[in-house]
A and B are shown apart, each in its own frame.
Chain A
Amino acid sequence: MQHSIFIYILIAALVSLIIRAIPTTLLRRQIENPFIRSFLYYVPYVTLSVMTFPAITEATKNPVAGYAALVVGIIVAWFRKNLFETAIMCCLTVLVTEFFF
């Protein structure tokens, strides 16, 4: 079955809004449950990790360039460079690597 792009985006927009605005509009006190707090705390790290690897190696024309970008990105981010600097370094790495391979 072919899905409608319009409905896809509508769902995405609504969920994005709800998840951001539910606490600001409704929450007046702290979440107490330690499991939920811990779970929510770990979710961003796990989901971004799972999204990044191995997808980064499949995004480039040559997988070697993707692996190189991963390593460079980790090193650059380790030294607390900001989002923009890290992203640029990854791009340059792919550019240079694919020039040679």
Chain B
Amino acid sequence: MLMSNDYSLKLPENRRVLAQGMRDGIPIGAGYFAVAFSLGITAKGIGLRPITCMITSVLCHASAGEYAVYTVIGDNAAYITMAVMVLIANARYLLMSCAMSQRMAPSLSFFHRLFMGFGITDELFAISIARPGMLNPNYMYGGMFVSIPLWALGSGLGCFSGEVLPERIVSALSVALFGMFLAIIIPPARDDKIIRMLIIISFAVSFVMSKLPGVSSVPSGTRIIILTVVISAIAAILFPADSSANDSAHATDGSANATDSNSNTAANSSAGAADSIDNNKGD
């Protein structure tokens, strides 16, 4: 009743768009399954049950975000730490959400906007924003419907089999998540000198802080928040992002087309994810 009728599944066109979203969600879901498995192992390490892990995965469905969740639970940190950590780890979704808001029909209902926002991940954002014109919610729903359950299933199985698998295999799988983080941050670093420098500085400072007597006893979650805010703020003061807008060379057609109404920053942030999707499609 509250949904906009334009996007009703009674229309064959919308059912077709939903099916396209589901089709494009399959390679994404396959990747999610493997990465979530590694996340499940992390959850297992702090004593979570598979069902708890799966519920968290459906509700949060974010690699860095969920990693932050398990770090905070593992630290037994304050509730406010959880809120701030999840906020920081998912801050990039705020930018993506801003970009998506500029591509929604003004008449689009509150509930469509809410559910589309809920569905934002690097990959689902990338495939959605890459389509021309106004966003059809059904496309994103199709992608979510396929990929989010696979994400949850992967994390549940990872959590379940964490102790069943040989130690050697668990050790190997536990770096999958970090591999995914690298796949997000490195491609933009190749084209943007400032980001490249920022990553090197972040690695260095993070390493020093983890070894420094006194500082190293600060819970890792808190350390991540402090370092992120301080380093990003200094970078924002020294290098306002608009001056580095020429790095849009790595933006894909999809996100570049979106820039007529979007900020450059938002389009750039999506570029790494969009690149990976293009690779997926090429396979």
**Set of chain B residues within 8 Å of A19, measured between Cβ atoms:** 86-87, 90-91, 93-94, 97
Bound-state CA distance A59–B181 (Å) is 14
Bound-state CA distance A52–B199 (Å) is 10
Bound-state CA distance A82–B233 (Å) is 29
B157 to chain A, nearest CB (A): 16
Please state if A16 and B188 are interface contacts (CB–CB under 8 Å).
no
A84 to chain B, nearest CB (A): 4
* Chain A window 1-29, contacts with chain B (Cβ cutoff 8 Å), 1 for yes, 0 for no: 11101011101110111011111110110
- Given A30-B263, A84-B31, are A9 and B55 neighbors across the interface (CB < 8 Å)? yes
Interface residue from A12, A37, A54, A60 paired with B207 (Cβ < 8 Å): A54
Interface residue from B62, B101, B182 paired with A73 (Cβ < 8 Å): B182
Is B3 at the interface (CB under 8 A from chain A)?
no
Most chain B CB inside 10 Å of its own CB: which residue of A20, A24, A76, A91: A24
Interface residue from A25, A37, A53 paired with B241 (Cβ < 8 Å): A37
A: number of interface residues (CB 8 Å) = 77
B: number of interface residues (CB 8 Å) = 110
* Chain B window 118-141, contacts with chain A (Cβ cutoff 8 Å), 1 for yes, 0 for no: 111011000000000000000000
**Set of chain A residues within 8 Å of B215, measured between Cβ atoms:** none
B57 to chain A, nearest CB (A): 10
- Contact residues of B: prevailing secondary structure: helix
Please state if A46 and B231 are interface contacts (CB–CB under 8 Å).
yes
Please state if B183 and A77 are interface contacts (CB–CB under 8 Å).
yes
A15-69 contacts to B (CB < 8 Å): 15-17, 19-25, 27-28, 30-31, 34-35, 37-56, 59-62, 65-66, 69
Please state if A77 and B187 are interface contacts (CB–CB under 8 Å).
yes
Bound-state CA distance A79–B147 (Å) is 25
B55-72 contacts to A (CB < 8 Å): 55-56, 59-62, 64-69, 72
* Chain B window 145-172, contacts with chain A (Cβ cutoff 8 Å), 1 for yes, 0 for no: 0000000000000000000000111011
Bound-state CA distance A16–B76 (Å) is 19
**Set of chain B residues within 8 Å of A31, measured between Cβ atoms:** 98, 263
- Given A15-B90, A21-B97, A53-B206, are A90 and B179 neighbors across the interface (CB < 8 Å)? yes
Cross-chain pairs A/B with CB under 8 angstroms, 30 sampled? A3-B73, A3-B78, A12-B65, A12-B86, A19-B93, A21-B97, A23-B98, A24-B120, A25-B113, A27-B97, A38-B241, A40-B91, A40-B265, A42-B198, A42-B232, A45-B185, A47-B224, A49-B206, A50-B202, A50-B203, A53-B206, A59-B178, A61-B168, A82-B277, A86-B179, A87-B180, A91-B172, A91-B176, A95-B172, A98-B172
For the A-B complex with A22-B94, A78-B186 known, give 7 more contacts whose Cβ atoms are closer than 8 Å: A24-B101, A46-B202, A52-B181, A59-B178, A69-B178, A78-B190, A85-B279
The 5 A-B residue pairs with the shortest CB-CB distance, nearest first, are: A21-B117, A90-B179, A77-B186, A49-B202, A44-B92
